[in-house]
Structure 1
């Protein structure tokens, strides 16, 4: 699992109203309670994602040097967010103490907290005022802090600045129509003949849920309203789904797009085969690599995602750090979490890689903006991004979305039928 906000993560990350939170019910996973919280210290294992930049390893090495009796060991979970979640769930269900600190997609917090798989954290474990407040909210469940926010952000649009300039286009598109027109102009260039227009993440996994909900929001709709009622059969929501269907049908999204996840689509953009690409901010550093691994280094820009009639609305992604209820060394685990999310460590981490972090000050830091010019676009996108719900049954909601959206974009169902079927399923889940 690549370290990224997904949602992301993973990754993840469905932009639904927080009003759905009231629909969840507690589940203590079979009726047996988790062990009582403890203050024991000792070595810990941290379950996280693939450390592409090796920066986390360096931070862990510093921790280990200062805590020789409480050394941390990293364990990499699968790159696929759904597989990573399954591995964590299986671990928790057997009450294994194999993991002490677990990195959760922000949307998993409610499920893990409700099932008592993670322990509440002290409110003073970290300075909550230093966080992006929307990210902090993703660590709460029923008013208690269960996970500290670490990574955050929203989907952004990567675009081939060089090709747009050669086509006479001065600014990135703000609407879907502008994006299609820009692609048509680029395709007329000798350099653009072999490029595809646009791609996000459309494989049948969590990324599809995120991309669908962004399309719905970017058309003025919402998947759930503030009262927790599904609204996927509204005209606006249908317009969002219709955009995805038409994009596949017309070739705006290439046929292979149905197989793409974060990493596959990122590699396609880096190889120079896409004009526009929706992904998370972690892509920036990799696409900017000067070691020959990226064919678009110095040739691309970043902007907020486009929408139906103006700038679109992304999903608020993020990854949080929590302490397992089954850890034998919870005091060490809590201190490690506090260490990783502390301002000095986030500053160091932020300057070494492009994953957007939960420390609010980083988004206005001139040095950071110079190093990562995407930050203003990301901050602007986060202003209109929508959070995913704090809901125990989120996984079922996401699976239902994936099923019906896949049916629509592959032509197995018309948009109206897919929307109505999804509305019925989500209504049943919300009851």
Structure 2
């Protein structure tokens, strides 16, 4: 998962890996890390725009290395990656969103990570899992994100609430109180349909103990826990507490600022958006853990850094990735972007250790879950998107919608 997914702005091109020629390694030892060379890197979205500055700093200490960073928009990333992988022309280092990695690892396009030098225990478990496919690790966790609850503290007092809702039952009661007592237009913003609706649903699904796929990759999206979660999600729309219409390019922070929407589930970048665009809101909002069902469990998002199997610069690529993903590199990246570090040690000093609001994010990441990597994960999640929309629009029951999705996903995971 990646940042753009949460805003619903991604348009993924679904291309079957079966139509591609599998990529192989370069067959030789490649260029030594200390030789003069150019390292090519593709990074997406905001990360692509910011990484060039880090590359310049890296080059100052590594005069033999020229790092060429190409920013790629998330809206065209999948299409460009598929075309490059099919031609054997992936860059040396490539940012991989969680929904992509299994597809490209299955093609043979990615070099396995040397787990003797990159250690699983240094990273959040869910972040490491996102870079793993079919028992091997292909991506080193770069940054993570998860969802927590943003809520208007001033409007909560007006609604008679004593704090953030602690349970999913409390969340629905709070949404109703905001609407009826504080006069908000809606109780909470939840995505009603369209691409990546599943991102909004994951905290309900995981907190209820449900999943799309189990750890063995078997479809389990119509389990009783998942049906219960979708019933809870759909209730906000049935009761008029969440907006049913899908508005392209919708920016929830605008309605959060006016008070039309007093609560939403969002990622860490939302903090910067609120601070930068609505300074008058300072002191009037807070973040809280995802309300608990069986437990408080959110999704794990973020990106990994992978090396092309065809790269002739693997040694230099490994060194650059190590620079970006060690605790110092992670802390520096947070200062530049506010992306949350995937390396646990990076959270032990400075702002990351001292800021009370960041402790909410850290705690949420400890229990966050992710869907196992699959070659057709984008197709799989699109089936869940459709199921959610059919419920929020009142077309089918949660059970019927998820039974249909289960059947479709079973066909995709074989």
What TM-score does the superposition give when structure 2 sets the normalisation length?
0.85
RMSD: 3.2
CA distance in 2, matches of 1:167, 1:30: 59
Query: Of residues 408, 419, 428 in structure 1, which corresponds to 2:402?
Result: 419
Aligned to 1:234: 223
Q: How much has 1:429 moved relative to structure 2?
A: 2.6
Q: How much has 1:399 moved relative to structure 2?
A: 2.2
Q: 5+ residue gaps in structure 2?
A: 9-16
1:343-362 matches, within 5 Å, as 343-362=327-346
Q: How much has 1:177 moved relative to structure 2?
A: 3.0
Instruction: Identify if the C-alpha distance between structure 1 residues 75 and 270 changes in structure 2 by more than 3 Å, giving closer, same or farther.
Output: farther
Aligned to 2:264: 277
Note if 1:215 corresponds to 2:204: yes
Instruction: Identify if the C-alpha distance between structure 1 residues 50 and 255 changes in structure 2 by more than 3 Å, giving closer, same or farther.
Output: same
Aligned to 1:22: none
Instruction: Identify if the C-alpha distance between structure 1 residues 76 and 229 changes in structure 2 by more than 3 Å, giving closer, same or farther.
Output: same
Aligned to 1:93: 86
Note if 1:29 corresponds to 2:12: no
CA distance in 1, matches of 2:248, 2:174: 22
Instruction: Identify if the C-alpha distance between structure 1 residues 28 and 67 changes in structure 2 by more than 3 Å, giving closer, same or farther.
Output: farther
Deviations 1:374-400 (A, max 9, x none): 322223322332221122232221122
Instruction: Identify if the C-alpha distance between structure 1 residues 180 and 129 changes in structure 2 by more than 3 Å, giving closer, same or farther.
Output: closer
Aligned length: 403
Deviations 1:174-231 (A, max 9, x none): 2233223323333356xx43543212445422x3223334322333433334554333
Aligned to 2:140: 148
Aligned to 1:135: 127
Q: How much has 1:53 moved relative to structure 2?
A: 11
CA distance in 2, matches of 1:213, 1:350: 25
* SS of alignment partner, residue 274 of structure 1: coil
Aligned to 1:429: 412
Note if 1:193 corresponds to 2:177: no
Instruction: Identify if the C-alpha distance between structure 1 residues 268 and 368 changes in structure 2 by more than 3 Å, giving closer, same or farther.
Output: same
CA distance in 2, matches of 1:325, 1:39: 11
Aligned to 1:169: 161
Aligned to 1:406: 389
